[in-house]
Amino acid sequence: MLRLPHFRYLAPRSLDEAATMLAEHGPQAVVVAGGTDLFPNMKRRQQEPPVVIGLRSVSTLGGIDALDGRLRIGATTSLHNVASHGLVRERLPALAIAAGLVSTPPLRRMGTLGGNLCLDTRCTYYDQNYHWRKSIDFCMKKDGAICWVAPNSPRCWAVSSSDTAPVAVALRADLRLVSARGERTVSAADFFHDDGILYLTRQPDEILASIEFPALEGWRMTYEKLRRRGSFDFPILGVAAAIKLSDGIVEEARLVLGAVGSSPVDQSNLAGSLVGTRPTYAAIQEVAAAAYKGARPLDNTDLNYAWRKKMARVYVERALAAVCEVELPNG
């Protein structure tokens, strides 16, 4: 049985208190929300923080509020609540779908939206216990010097495997970050960083407080997920698609792929070819072919990477056909 290392647990009651604690303990400390990612990582000694600051008792970090057309979701809102909340299902169905496809029902009740957006990147050579990793002399993401996926690479290629991250980018969400130094808001696109180790632009002393989605009236959106087991599994491909239609003509189109790189890959420029047109299956096929070319999954996650690349075409077709209400030839 894998056991947690020793650590000190702090339970702040307010966001200010949590930010002060994080600033006081510096790089020694991390925050925890649901713990469904952090604690397994600590058991595998991928992370060994001496101090863990729990956010569960900070009531202002939870909840879902409508602000005119916009929706603000507190970072510690559980994935279950995100997936089942009436306003999220009505206004942001792609987010409800993505949150509802994360892991399992018990883990979705513990796991939070903020934790999902801050999820550690994944790799076959990293998601192993300490002794497994030691047997290959570790890798540069933790304790080692080399990348086993690309041995000449100066960077880590671990994969962004969050289901909600591509949706947040596609829907142009803004994230509020709070620290003892003050607060700032960053777009979801700027929150993620294409590096397997430094995969977020969040600073170590910053707490993700809330995620705000703009008013998306007239938009149709979805999220398609590829995984080995239908019951539960991390995505090995995620496709977030959103389209604004007016009288059947596309006004704006967004397409973001997850789990094909160290950050979500925004391919909205490819979907841009649909703008100003009444979408057809042929036009969707063209976008899907271009998305296939641009998807470069590596051999460091589940199933064969060449097959996963092929599936990018299939899943982009499915997602775009669904939002454009275009029937696929094979149903």
Ligand X SMILES: Cc1cc2nc3c(=O)[nH]c(=O)nc-3n(C[C@H](O)[C@H](O)[C@H](O)COP(=O)(O)OP(=O)(O)OC[C@H]3O[C@@H](n4cnc5c(N)ncnc54)[C@H](O)[C@@H]3O)c2cc1C
What residues are paired with 185 via a beta bridge? 176
Out of ligand X, ligand SF4, none, what residue 118 binds, judged by CB under 5 to 8 A for its kind, is ligand X
Query: What is the nearest approach in angstroms of ligand SF4 to the Cβ of residue 122?
Result: 8
Which residue, 146 or 322, is less far from ligand SF4 as judged by CB? 146
CA distance 120 to 144: 17
Which residue, 45 or 172, is less far from ligand SF4 as judged by CB? 45
CA distance 286 to 186: 32
Out of ligand X, ligand SF4, none, what residue 147 binds, judged by CB under 5 to 8 A for its kind, is ligand SF4
Identify the H or E element spanning 295: none
Q: Which of 62, 71, 78, 157 binds ligand SF4 (CB under 6 A)?
A: 157
Q: Which of residues 194-213 bind ligand SF4 (CB under 6 A)?
A: 196
* Cα-trace Rg, the chain: 20
Question: Are the C-beta atoms of 140 and 147 separated by less than 8 Å?
Answer: yes
Out of ligand X, ligand SF4, none, what residue 34 binds, judged by CB under 5 to 8 A for its kind, is ligand X
For the record, the structure tokens of 114 come out as 């903020």
Query: What is the nearest approach in angstroms of ligand SF4 to the Cβ of residue 129?
Result: 14
Compute φ and ψ for 22, nearest 5 degrees: -65, -40
Query: What is the nearest approach in angstroms of ligand X to the Cβ of residue 327?
Result: 29
Question: Are the C-beta atoms of 74 and 60 separated by less than 8 Å?
Answer: yes
CA distance 183 to 216: 26
Quickly count helices (H) and strands (E) in the chain.
13, 12
Q: Which of 126, 191, 219, 315 binds ligand SF4 (CB under 6 A)?
A: 126
CA distance 328 to 321: 7
The count of chain residues that interact with ligand SF4, using the rule CB under 6 A, is 14
Identify the H or E element spanning 44: none
Query: What is the nearest approach in angstroms of ligand SF4 to the Cβ of residue 41?
Result: 12
Which residue, 12 or 258, is less far from ligand SF4 as judged by CB? 258
Which residue, 155 or 220, is less far from ligand SF4 as judged by CB? 155
Residues forming contacts to ligand X in the complex (CB under 6 A) are: 30-38, 40, 55, 75, 79, 102-103, 107, 110-112, 114-116, 118-120, 161-163, 207-208, 232-234
| Count, residues in the chain | 331
Q: Which of residues 245-304 bind ligand SF4 (CB under 6 A)?
A: 300
Query: What is the nearest approach in angstroms of ligand SF4 to the Cβ of residue 142?
Result: 8
Out of ligand X, ligand SF4, none, what residue 125 binds, judged by CB under 5 to 8 A for its kind, is ligand SF4
Which residue, 42 or 149, is less far from ligand SF4 as judged by CB? 149
- Give the DSSP letter of residue 200: B
Q: Which of 99, 147, 211, 270 binds ligand SF4 (CB under 6 A)?
A: 147
Which residue, 11 or 146, is less far from ligand SF4 as judged by CB? 146
Query: What is the nearest approach in angstroms of ligand X to the Cβ of residue 32?
Result: 4
Out of ligand SF4, ligand X, none, what residue 149 binds, judged by CB under 5 to 8 A for its kind, is ligand SF4
Antiparallel, parallel or unpaired: β 51-54 and 29-32? parallel
Out of ligand SF4, ligand X, none, what residue 37 binds, judged by CB under 5 to 8 A for its kind, is ligand X
Name the residue type at position 54: G
Strand order in the sheet with 174-179: 64-67, 70-74, 207-213, 174-179, 182-187
Q: Where are the alpha helices (DSSP H) in 147-280?
A: 164-170, 188-191, 268-271
Compute φ and ψ for 78, nearest 5 degrees: -70, 155
Residues that bind ligand SF4 (CB under 6 A): 123, 125-126, 139-141, 147-149, 156-158, 196, 300
